Amino acid sequence: MNEFEQRLSRQPLKEIPAAWRAEILSVACPASRPVPRASFLATCNLKLATLLWPHPQAWAGLAAVWVFIIAVNFSLREPAPRLAAKSAPPSPEVMVELRQQQRLLAELIGPRDERDADRSKTYTPRPRGERMEMVAV
């Protein structure tokens, strides 16, 4: 030991004043002060750590593999062709041909008849009193 430590060890210990002791213990005791609530991120971190605890390196490796797979998927994706923007409007001949096809289809199908299921049936509601008389009779 050096000289300072020898002098320090020879000095008697002084008693801490009672007021100081009570103040120090009240600050140091966790039960005497309110416990701050953990933030949302701290709570999520704790839950995630307890879930991944057995093998955190394995879970981190699995997450890295998924990130790699997603990155490769996006990098290999071909951009969608923009045919509508690049194509010219249809020629008049094409429009005439489309109209002829529509007429032919209409002739093949025939005129549209309203079937029983398609017609809306008219319902005339009766007063409630008549129904009550029928039940009572």
Predicted pLDDT at 52? 77
Domain range annotation of the chain: 1-72
Separation of alpha carbons 129 and 107, rounded Å: 53
Contact 59, 52 (CB under 8 A): yes
Residue with tokens 């699995």: 62
Residue 68: the pLDDT is 97
* C-alpha span between 73 and 71 (Å, rounded): 5
Taking only Cα atoms into account, the Rg of the chain, rounded to an integer number of angstroms, comes to 44
The pLDDT profile of the chain, 137 residues, written as one tens digit per residue, is: 689 898 888 888 888 888 888 888 777 776 655 667 788 888 888 888 888 777 888 888 999 999 999 999 999 888 776 665 667 778 899 999 999 999 999 988 887 666 655 566 677 776 666 555 555 55
Identify the pLDDT of residue 101.
94
- pLDDT score at 38: 81
Q: Could you tell me the pTM of the whole model?
A: 0.29
